[in-house]
Amino acid sequence: MFRTGLLQWNRTHNKRNMPWKGERDPYKIWLSEIILQQTRVEQGLGYYERFIQTFSNVHALAAAPEQQVFKLWEGLGYYSRCKNLIATAKYISETLNGVFPATYETILALKGIGPYTAAAIASFGYNLPYAVLDGNVFRVLSRIYANETPIDSTEGKKTFSLLAQQTLAQEEAGAYNQAIMDFGATICKPVPRCAHCFFATQCQAFLQNKQAGLPVKGKAAALKERWFHYVVLQFEDTIAIQQRTARDIWQNLFEVLLIEALKKEDKQTILRQLEKSYNLMPNEYDIISAAANATQKLSHQKIYFSFIHIRLRHPKEINNMLWVSQKVLDQYPFPKTLLLFLQKNGSVTGKKFD
């Protein structure tokens, strides 16, 4: 009953428009799905359109300089997605001659693709009978079945994966998968619009008045806290930057000089460490500004930021640091919070530092 009713709702009432809906090109579907991983549709729309305009096919993406791709991705977060996007584009372009895999198993084997993304590409691109299971689908299924198994548990993932596959319209997999995600995004929302639901009289959560408590999630893990003290080093119209190459957050992005600490440190402590670590004397620089009020929450971490902007009186070589003219600084991809600081205070908008 739900499957039949959902497809009817999709044909007559689903007005949710997105540029990739109805798309059959697996390259474009793949791009949209990678961009939308852990990203709201409203945020991802512009990125999808810019990627399609810049890289019209997988060969164009594979041939692009990595720095250009990361710059286009800048601000989306979860940069491992971008790294995997580049690797998979190169593999499809160079090894598969640009032909996107056409079975669930071969799609799943691609770097950066898990069961949800593989099911989405397989069903939307090839109408293969694989059910998608994202946050919207978890919510819908947990309510129509009144299933209180925690969705983030091993048991929950197995249970809802089975329910999703059992409920799937096998002959119309692509249409059904899009419909159930749209239904969760527009009707069966976190605060549900039950008065507008075609299935309300059969929905077990509605009948038992349990909608508000579903889906059930386990206790969230504690966030790891880190303190990033950034030092903007400027000499004349150049800024010192470095690329993050370690296996850590924001790998492959660029940043200014970073002093990471176990706790919040005051300006004088950071300057003393700077002087000691980089053989920089107090009479060799001037302090332009200092700020320490920014935070950024990631999936498992919370980062506290401080910024000190200093101008060197003489040129100085610093290990692994690249001195870049402010005129070209906007060509480098930066982590979001650092980018916002640079945009507000400096040259990524074309304005020179004070």
- pLDDT tens-digit readout, 228-265: 999 999 999 999 999 998 889 999 999 999 999 999 99
- Alpha-carbon dihedral of residues 275, 281, 285, 288, nearest 10 degrees? 40
Q: Worst-scoring range by mean pLDDT, 128-137, 203-212, 214-223, 343-352?
A: 343-352
Domain ranges of the chain: 2-213, 224-349
Mean pLDDT (whole number) for 4-30: 94
Mean pLDDT (whole number) for 208-216: 95
Written as six digits, the tokens of 188 are 């069966």
Q: Are strands 238-243 and 224-235 parallel, antiparallel or unpaired?
A: antiparallel
Same fold, 2-213 and 224-349: no
Nearest CA-CA partner of 192 in 156, 143, 135: 143
Does residue 265 carry a catalytic annotation? no
Nearest CA-CA partner of 337 in 256, 269, 264, 262: 256
Four-residue CA torsion sign, 291, 293, 297, 301: positive
Catalytic residue (one of 23, 33, 236, 275)? 33
Q: Which fold has domain 2-213?
A: Endonuclease III; domain 1 (1.10.340)
How far apart are the C-alpha atoms of 239 and 250, rounded to whole Å? 20
User: Using one digit for the tens of pLDDT, what is the confidence trace for 284-320?
Assistant: 999 998 887 789 988 889 999 999 999 999 999 988 8
Nearest CA-CA partner of 299 in 128, 156, 169, 152: 152
How far apart are the C-alpha atoms of 199 and 179, rounded to whole Å? 14
Mean pLDDT (whole number) for 10-19: 93
How far apart are the C-alpha atoms of 60 and 42, rounded to whole Å? 25
For 214, residues 6+ apart whose C-beta sits below 8 A from its C-beta are 139, 142, 143, 146, 147, 148, 205
User: Using one digit for the tens of pLDDT, what is the confidence trace for 116-164?
Assistant: 999 999 999 999 999 999 999 999 999 999 999 999 999 999 999 999 9
How far apart are the C-alpha atoms of 233 and 288, rounded to whole Å? 10
Binned at pLDDT 50, 70 and 90, residue 346 comes out as: low
User: Domain 224-349 classified CATH 3.90.79.10?
Assistant: yes
Q: Are strands 301-312 and 285-297 parallel, antiparallel or unpaired?
A: antiparallel
Please, what is the average pLDDT of the chain? 93
Cα 259 to the center of its chain, rounded Å: 25
User: Using one digit for the tens of pLDDT, what is the confidence trace for 47-98?
Assistant: 999 999 999 999 999 999 999 999 999 999 889 999 999 999 999 999 999 9
Q: Could you tell me what percentage of the chain is helix, strand and coil, using 3-state DSSP and rounding each to the nearest 5? A: 45, 15, 40
